[in-house]
Amino acid sequence: MQVNNYPTKQAYDADNTRSKTASAVSKIVEGSVAVFDGVNVVFDNKNLAGVGDLVCKDVNANKRVFIKAGTVVKSAIPGNLKPYAEVYGRKGDKVLITALENLGSYRWGHPFEVLVSGVNTAIAGTLAIIVHNNGAVTEEVDVSWEADASLESIAASINAQFQTLTDADDKAWVAAVEGTQIVLAHNYYLKDTVDSITGTGGGAGVSFVEDEHNYQIEYAYLNGSESIRRKNGVDSYFAGGNKKKFPDYYRTNGSVPDANVPLGSSTIVKQDAFENSEYCADLRAAYPDYVSYLIGEHFIEEPSAFGAMLRDGAEITALLASLKGTTVRGANEPRYPAATAAFNYSREEDPDLKWHLPSVEEIVILMKDRRLNSADTDPDPFNDTAVAMGTATAYGSGYYPWTCCEYYSYNAFFFHGGYGGVNHLSKYDATTVRPVSAL
């Protein structure tokens, strides 16, 4: 690596002999500025690490090193450097990193399940399944089969009949075969149970057992809802979280007020109303333009000493991942699949590093300065490095990663790439898991 020293920025700019193809660090004495030049600039001081820097293991020296954002060229990375993470921010003396990939889509909470045993497929039979939903409505599913049917065909018939029921929560049952049994899984934000299963012929010997708990509608670690706070002091379940997508969405999707909108209101107005409505005079007096209004009033308060922003992502993820076992599945089934997937993530380059689902605070640090999409040309060192490496991007638009933080008994916080903010999502939904950690 070249190390260059210049007295001023002018001297740095005037030097045409500096390598453009090799790693170089230039110290500009005036202002004490360090400039990274060339290709795959490597350093091992984590105090110099910034957003977009690639985290690698130097297998020759057996140590952690970084490749500076803006210099990353995948094809030219030396063979002794093994990339495994990317820097997305800092908090105090900690360097915040994220995995280079998404792990896929996982539900936050495990389905509520009913294990059905004793179906005899050798002889013709019937089953009558009565479900009882949150609204105290009972509905019935009736299926029949001929001798020598398969469990798979019976499960398919059950699924088809569930879809003929009236209520959405009753339609949310899915039947699947596991060994010699049928598992009825319910994924919804309202309670739904099986009241009875009776049968004739091949179904006469049926029995069933239900889970004792429904992890998709029960609190995991809270005793009541926990909100986030906007910059204007409004406590809510949603707030702005990306400085580009949030204005991009509300510019046309905000409300048109019919009464005065004061500072500190929960109402988010559209751009035309902000600029022209008589009811937005207070907002115009306080903010020079629409984007300033959105960021100043409705963006999440960050840093914040309130609600879900106080939660420790590593601590909560470890707690959620430790909770295993359902009545019908046994001790090894995770109650909280998304957290468990993040907790179990590991890399051979750094096997002692602990990974977790991001907290609300961490998801905001990750997402607040991201550009909209691949067509957006605004500076974004995190996504520049991801594109250079061919790894998972984190664009402000169209990205929906979970956090580990609960909002309500049946909701948890996530980043909503549709409008660029932190919002809640039902625990039965499956969305992206992107593990994070800290160095």
Q: What is the pLDDT of residue 5?
A: 74
pLDDT higher than threshold 70 for residue 90: yes
Helix (H) or strand (E) segment spanning residue 432: strand 430-432
Q: Residue 284 in contact with residue 209, Cβ under 8 Å?
A: no
Q: For residue 55, report the phi and psi dihedrals to the nearest 5 degrees.
A: -100, 130
Give the pLDDT confidence of 73-84 residue by residue, as tens digits: 999 999 999 999
The counts of H helices and E strands in the chain are 11, 26
Give CA–CA dist 44/169, Å, rounded: 54
Q: What is the pLDDT of residue 327?
A: 83
Give the pLDDT confidence of 326-347 residue by residue, as tens digits: 888 877 889 999 999 999 999 9
Confidence tier at 360 by pLDDT (50, 70, 90): very high
Q: What is the mean pLDDT of residues 149-173?
A: 96
At position 83, the amino acid (one-letter code) is P
Q: Residue 119 in contact with residue 98, Cβ under 8 Å?
A: no
- DSSP conformation class of 198: E
Q: What is the mean pLDDT of residues 342-355?
A: 97
| Among 30-44, 88-102, 116-130, 205-219, the least confident range | 30-44
Q: What is the pLDDT of residue 14?
A: 76
Give CA–CA dist 155/207, Å, rounded: 15
Give the pLDDT confidence of 364-423 residue by residue, as tens digits: 999 999 999 999 999 999 999 999 999 999 999 999 999 999 999 999 999 999 999 999
Other Cβ atoms within 10 Å of 289 Cβ, number: 12
Give the pLDDT confidence of 268-286 residue by residue, as tens digits: 999 999 999 999 999 999 9
Helices (H), 262-348: 271-276, 281-286, 290-293, 313-322, 337-344
- SS3 string, 326-365, reads ECCCEEEEECCHHHHHHHHCCCCCCCCCCCECCCHHHHHH
Give CA–CA dist 83/388, Å, rounded: 12
Percent over 90 (pLDDT), the chain: 88
pLDDT higher than threshold 80 for residue 305: yes
Give CA–CA dist 239/69, Å, rounded: 29
Give the pLDDT confidence of 14-57 residue by residue, as tens digits: 777 766 556 666 666 555 545 566 789 999 999 999 999 999 99
Q: What is the pLDDT of residue 30?
A: 57
Q: What is the pLDDT of residue 329?
A: 80
Residue 184 Cα distances to 155, 193, 206, 420, angstroms: 9, 10, 14, 36
Average pLDDT, the chain: 93
Closest CA to 323 of 311, 314, 313, 336: 336
Q: What is the pLDDT of residue 33?
A: 47
Give CA–CA dist 82/87, Å, rounded: 15
Give the pLDDT confidence of 172-192 residue by residue, as tens digits: 999 999 999 999 999 999 999
Domains parsed from the chain with CATH numbers? 2-99 (no CATH), 112-210 (2.60.40), 244-298 (no CATH)
Q: What is the pLDDT of residue 262?
A: 97
